[in-house]
Homo-oligomer: A and B are copies of this chain.
Amino acid sequence: MCVTVVGSVAFDALETPHGKRERILGGATTHFALAASFFTDVRIVGVVGDDFGPEELAVYERRGNIDLSDLMRVPGERSFFWAGRYEDDMQVAHTLDTQLNVFATFDPQLSPAACASSSVFLANIQPDVQRRVRAQCAGASLAGLDSMNYWIESARDSLLETMRTVDAIVLNDAEVKMLTGEPNLARGARWIRELGPRILVVKQGSYGACMVTDAGFFFVPGFPLELVVDPTGAGDAFAGGFFGYLDSHGDGDPSEGCLRRAAVYGSVLASFAIEDFGSERLQRLTRDEIVTRYGEFRRLTSCEHAPLRQPALV
């Protein structure tokens, strides 16, 4: 089993109330791949420049199951760069700078191995490109996508067309409202699922996440951390945990129980991601920590307040 993720590999400059980083490894695929690698094999489809060196490569290679054969390197150019700042409440990222660089013309041709992946996740990139990648992974039994306000506004029709080709959509609540015109979560969720995708995950920031399927609504609260250092990558870490768990447990037709456990694992990975800058926390995360926090998450909504059966991680 293997999940292929296509999207940005980047350098980020980050500033939060708890400090700053001038230039650290980031991008949606980085957070996704590190999170998913605890559950299944991962393949990154992306593009970088000359500034991407051995130190960055080592971050993925240390995990032992992240394949970089589909990571293109463009000589003489620089990698995608993003600079952002968070205010006190950590809810909204203010973009200070965006340099697309090699990413501006990103339109990947996947290797046969990537095309043959059991799952594919289309991280937040131009919806036409997402759709062309989806078409190349026609045999994937589970396909998901993320997007953002920029594409909802500037490429709405293409985004809707792409959404119709996947099984699972991951958006935040502001994006759901913008896309559907519905301030009400339940009506907005119905609108999106009527496009075709049977699984919708609505990320709700510090409030957690909500999953909607044929079986109804499932909610995972935000983990009540006293110190949130940097929210960057939380959504991608969620997606990595979610699709990584599903890829390792399914044949593309996961049970409702499996989907719900996947949503909790996604929340577990997101909760660790925000404990340090960029992907620093995921880089030093252990399987034991994941298992422990899964149990803590379950107790956050348990009325029985007794030890809960702990499922095997993989």
Which residues of A are in contact with B by a Cβ distance under 8 Å?
88-90, 183-187, 189-190, 204, 206-208, 210, 215-221, 224-228, 255-257, 260-261, 264, 298-305
Contacts and interface: CB of A to CB of B under 8 A. Distances in A.
Nearest to A306: B257
Q: What copy number does this chain have within its complex?
A: 2
Contacts of A215: 305
A300 B183 contact: no
A219 B220 CA distance: 9
A218 B302 CA distance: 8
Name the residue among A190, A207, A226 with the largest chain B CB count within 10 angstroms: A207
Contact of A216 (B219, B227, B256, B299): B299
Contact of A300 (B217, B298, B299): B217
Name the residue among A215, A260, A303 with the largest chain B CB count within 10 angstroms: A303
A43 to B, nearest CB: 29
Nearest to A262: B303
B224 A300 contact: no
Given A207-B204, A221-B219, A226 B303 contact: no
Nearest to A303: B260
